[in-house]
Structure 1
Amino acid sequence: AVGLALFALFCAALMWAAWRALRNSTSPLASGAVASLAAFAVSSGASAVSFRWFGSGLMFFFAAALVTRFALAARREPDSAKPEPHAAKHTPYASRLTRRAAALAPRAAMFKPLRLPHALARRGHALGLAAALVVLVAMCVQAASVVLLAEAQGSADGARADSLYRSSLAVNPLDPATHYNYGVWLLLQKREREAVPHLGYALARGFHTSTCYEYLAGAESNAGQTEAAERTLAEGARVYPRSVFMRVRHASALARLGRTQDSELEMRAALLLDSRAARGWRWLIDEDIDAAIAAARRDPSVPMPGELQPEDAVFAVLEENERRFPEAVTSGWRARMRNSTFLRMP
């Protein structure tokens, strides 16, 4: 409760500062800083990734510092904007430069540096330098982790890719993006049990699209953790109550656990949202892609798998189904796609 109250106070202070900055400053930098804060707030409301990303946090506080500076300058401006007594004494024959200097004198007074004792000033410089070095080291570590991650994603050698992923995590073990990409890679390598902790770490730290929930649930299901998979999908359906895909996937997980009544209730909710998409997802999840394509050709009320949204969730389901339908890996739609890809290679 205390943390929530302090967070609300912090947000209220930023909103007040933004309002004062926009009201009293005509500088485009002020409106740009306020727009940056607004964009950051919107993106953080959709996903926590932007707030957890180190570079985004730095930019947020930089923009907040600019907004606060403009707000405080605007607050001091009315008192200091009064003309000096000597300003009225200028004659029409005074030089333009003198009049300009007199007009700017009150504003310049606002920016007079604070006089600090020499020892305190030296400590302040040392502290600023130390903070800059800490930021530099942190950014270098982050850059090294990102480079290793990119090399791992581009490597065709499984052993080398695994080593690069591990090296990236060794450099920055707190990066959820590396955990997520490594978890998906492990899932594609059929190492589901190893993938579960990495995907769970990423899901708990901002990677929570419906496809992220499906990847974790698929890894848990294929690793034999069916109850954990159902809990993951139940959370996903709670976070995205209007997602037809999440509802149908959860209904399927409940049916596999023998909870028929709960499964029917969840499927009914999906049908109410979009009956056509719900039927298409159920065919794809329970019977795999070849049966889903055949059903769509027979019945116009069943969409083709390519019509389902989100599109990346279709591939996540197909990856999970390869464990349940091993014969489908080398036949049907997958075989046709593999052959067409091979024929297009130079």
Structure 2
Amino acid sequence: MENVSNGNRNPLEPFPVFLGLALVSLMIPVPRPSFIPSMPWKAELAISAVLATASLALLFRKRWLFAQTVRTSTLQQLILGAVLAFAANSALSVTWAEFPIAATRHALVWLCYFCILYFAHRWISISGSLRALTVPLLVAVTIVLALCVFDLLTFESFAEFEGTFRIRYARFGEMAVTAGPLLLGCAIADPNRRRAGLIALFAAAAWLVAMLSLSKAAFVAGFAGFLFVLFGLLLFGRRTLRTRSIAALAVFASVTIAIQFGTVYLTAVPSTANYISGEADPTRSTSAMRIFTWTIGLEMVRNNTLLGVGGDNFGPKFNDARLSYAARNPDDPSLATAEDYLVERAHNEYLQIAAEFGVLGILFIGACLLWFGVALAKAVWTQKGRVSPVLIGSAGGLVAFAVSSAFTSFSFRAFQNGVVFFIVLAVFVHSIRRVGRSNSDPSGGPEKAVSEGFLVRLRKLSALPFAALFLFSIAAGASQYYVLLGEKARSQSEAEAYFRSAIGLHPENTGAYLAYAGRAGRSGDTRLAAELYRKAIDNGLGVTVTYSTLSKAYELDGDRDNAERTLAEAISIFPRSVFIRIRYALLLEANGKGGESAKQFDAALAMDLKQANGWETLIRDGMLKAHLRAKEVGDSTPPAELRPNNAIYAYADEQIGPSSPAP
């Protein structure tokens, strides 16, 4: 039977609890500016602080973790080497990435992932206990479930907060379905019935988080992961544990059916099944968005096959790929998608890795999937009818994460999810090491000590990646805070000082450029506003609203040539945008270029007659006349229904500084 807990006091206490709290640190509200760019820092800050402190504590209190060797098989060495090589390649991508700060963050995150995998595996092998690794999962799952249920019970109108709720909990749904199957395997393995029942409750809590988060990807991934564990144990597990496995399968089915039907018939909240079937989302807007993002992502891979665009450069380089795709497929209706939406991630981790790292990224994905298949097959073949529940449980967690990563924007990009994945992977790596070992040596135990050599000294530097990520996250968080102070500052000079500090701390903070540009425009400094809007676009904020506002800033500064070039650039990226074509047509008309203007009007009218008429009237004559024309004549779309919706406010308020694009 698996030694799930050896009963000894954990020398890491209370760090596992602190890590569990850090995993849900995104739940803690902090003041933030009006626009949040893709520069996450909260989870990174909290988790890296805990892990850096734990590394230092172990260095001084438990030197044997660094000084002792752990015999590893070829399979184990391969996965450790692959993760380290990928982290090194990420670091190298800083040299060719257009946005090196983003690439640096990606490299630091993956170095931390490697350290988590390496030292979690060593900890299990030397201590023989999973307690230090499972406690953070239990704490995180419990907190997320409690907050999720509280929110569902206290919403006055779920429809009003539906989007916020789903975004808030979807990122934790993936974490839960990665942890849940491992917890289920531990519960089935534990010989102590009372403790096994308690662990099973936490596994059920993880599945509840996935279902109540209303995330389609988390639901499908969790379903796959839990069934993988249950049927895997029924087919390949010990016969003595099949009764537990059958009971767990019955409970799993009952809970799933109860939640799916209960939310529909007893509450106003749709079930996840309703979202998957389209009943709760008949427009299928999120599915259409994913397909379009994948299309452009494949274009990015096509254009950067060898090296990729660099770590975490997918978002800011998205428009380059969109421009390339639009040039080859100008009449594709899907190009109307996301003209006001800032695409930051691919919603498919495999595709994003391929786009950011080219051939080496593709090889990394293929190698990892092949490694997992070979390792699992070898375990099943070697231990016919005796496969460890913990091995199957950890494999189920990895399967769930792999399935979810094909559809979500989180995966390794959400640091807390990546941390949980590598904890589960460490358990799997340790479990395959046990394949073929006798039950009399369940843990692999402490192994022979080695002298202080290069490898030992290298292990003692394990706190450095966490410390570096901690400092990086402080800089990113401080940059965001300075943007907030700049937005609230009363005087222009004070605001400028804050914005410059924000940019100095994080030169790729697109939100800082956007907020600074809006403030400069409202103060009448249109030249500075134009420069800053240009920088915001060049740093990845290229949506139709910002292009339109940049063009307006050039107009007010008397630079009509740049105003035209800006809108022409926007049309090359968003050829199916009715709004930007009408904007361009009216500007050309004002500049005395009637023939070119007519072509743009005709193109817009051919795409959507009512939208084109609505935008023309709104921009030319104002909000009231646009509303009256839609109501009385009926040949135009009313202002409230024009797309993109956030472009309307620039014409309700003629000041420079429109609303932010959708994140």
- Report TM bin, short chain: 0.5 to 0.7
Cα shift at 1:274:
0.8
Q: Which moved more, 1:57-66 or 1:162-171?
A: 57-66
The 8 Å contact of residues 277 and 302 in structure 1, kept in 2 or not, is answered as yes
Q: Is the contact between residue 398 and residue 424 of structure 2 (CA under 8 Å) also seen in structure 1?
A: no
Instruction: Specify whether residues 188 and 256 from structure 1 end up closer, same or farther in structure 2 by C-alpha distance, changes over 3 A only.
Output: same
Structure 2 residue aligned with 1:285: 619
Match of 2:144 in 1: none
In 2: Cα distance, 1:265 partner to 1:19 partner? 51
Alignment match, 1:223: 557
Matches within 5 A, 1:39-50: none
Match of 2:634 in 1: 300
Q: CA contact under 8 A between 1:236 and 1:246: conserved in structure 2?
A: yes
What is the match of residue 264 of structure 1? Answer: 598
Q: Does 1:34 align with 2:402?
A: yes
Q: Deviations over 1:42-88 (max 9, x none)?
A: 69xxxxxxxxxxxx868399579849968x959x95x974x45xx5x
**Partner residue, 1:210:** 544
Within the candidate set 511, 520, 525, 1:177 is matched to 511
Match of 2:415 among 52, 59, 74: 59
Tell me, which stretches of 5 or more residues in structure 1 are unaligned?
44-55, 88-98, 324-346
CA 1:131–1:286: 2 relative to 1, 3 Å: same
User: C-alpha offsets along residues 246-269 of structure 1, whole Å, 9 cap, x if unaligned?
Assistant: 121122222223222222111111
1:145–1:36 CA distance, 2 compared to 1 (3 A): farther
**Residue from 621, 645, 655 that aligns with 1:311:** 645
Instruction: Tell me what 1:150 maps to.
Output: 484
Q: What secondary structure, in the 3-state scheme, does the structure 2 residue paired with 1:178 have? A: helix
Q: 1:145 to 1:322 in 2, by over 3 A?
A: closer
Deviation at 1:165, TM superposition (A): 2.0
Which amino acid in the other structure matches residue 178 of structure 1? Answer: A
Q: Which amino acid aligns with 2:360?
A: F
Say if 1:184 and 1:215, in contact at 8 Å, map to a contact too: no
State the secondary structure of the residue aligned to 2:305: helix
**CA–CA distance in structure 2, aligned partners of residues 156 and 311 of structure 1:** 29
What is the distance in 2 between the residues matched to 1:304 and 1:19? Answer: 51
Which structure's relative contact order is higher, taking Cα pairs within 8 Å and 6+ residues apart?
2
Q: Aligned equivalents of 2:552 and 2:645: distance in 1? A: 16
Per-residue deviation, 1:173: 3.0
- TM-score after normalising by structure 1: 0.68
- In the alignment, is residue 10 of structure 1 matched against residue 385 of structure 2? no
C-alpha separation in 2, matches of 1:199 and 1:283: 26
Where structure 2 has 5 or more consecutive residues not aligned to the other structure, the ranges are 1-301, 308-356, 377-391, 657-663
The SS at the match of 1:181 is: helix
Matching residue's letter, 2:520: L
CA deviations on 1:101-155 (whole Å, 9 max, x unpaired) are 46x57xx59xx99998733135414543333332222211111111111222234
**Deviation string, structure 1 residues 273-318 (Cα, Å, up to 9, x no partner):** 1101101101122233344344335421123322212121111244
- Which region of structure 1 is more displaced relative to structure 2, 211-220 or 299-308? 299-308
Secondary structure of the residue aligned to 2:576 is coil
Give the letter aligned to residue 611 of structure 2: A
Deviation, 1:14, is 4.4
- Residue of structure 2 equivalent to 1:254: 588
1:12 maps to amino acid: I
Which position in structure 1 is the counterpart of 2:609?
275
Contact 1:276–1:301 at 8 Å: present in 2 too?
A: yes
Partner of 1:332: none
1:93-172 equivalent positions in 2, closer than 5 A: 99=439, 101=440, 118-125=452-459, 127-172=461-506
Q: TM-score under structure 2 normalisation?
A: 0.38
Query: 1:185 Cα shift?
Result: 2.2
Question: Alignment identity in percent?
Answer: 20
Question: Relative to structure 1, is the Cα distance of residues 200 and 113 closer, same or farther in structure 2, using a 3 angstrom cutoff?
Answer: farther
Distance 2:622 2:450 in 1: 72
Counterpart Cα distance in 2 of 1:172 and 1:16? 34
User: Are residues 8 and 65 of structure 1, via their aligned partners in 2, closer, same or farther at CA, if it must alter by over 3 Å?
Assistant: farther
Q: 1:63 to 1:18 in 2, by over 3 A?
A: farther
AA aligned to 2:358 is: A
Distance 2:537 2:651 in 1: 17
Bigger drift between 18-27 and 247-256 goes to 18-27
Q: Structure 1's 17 and 210: CA in aligned 2 closer, same or farther, altered over 3 A?
A: farther
The alpha carbon displacement at 1:271 in A equals 0.8
Distance 1:67 1:268, change over 3 A: farther
CA contact 2:551–2:566 (8 Å) conserved in 1: yes
Aligned residues of 2:503 and 2:513 also touching (Cα < 8 A): yes
Q: Does the 8 A contact of 2:398 with 2:425 survive in 1?
A: no
Question: In structure 2, what is the equivalent of residue 96 of structure 1?
Answer: none
Aligned to 1:199: 533
Pair 73,265 (structure 1): closer, same or farther in 2 beyond 3 Å: farther
Aligned length in residues: 288
**Map of 1:234 onto structure 2:** 568
* TM-superposed deviation, 1:217: 1.4
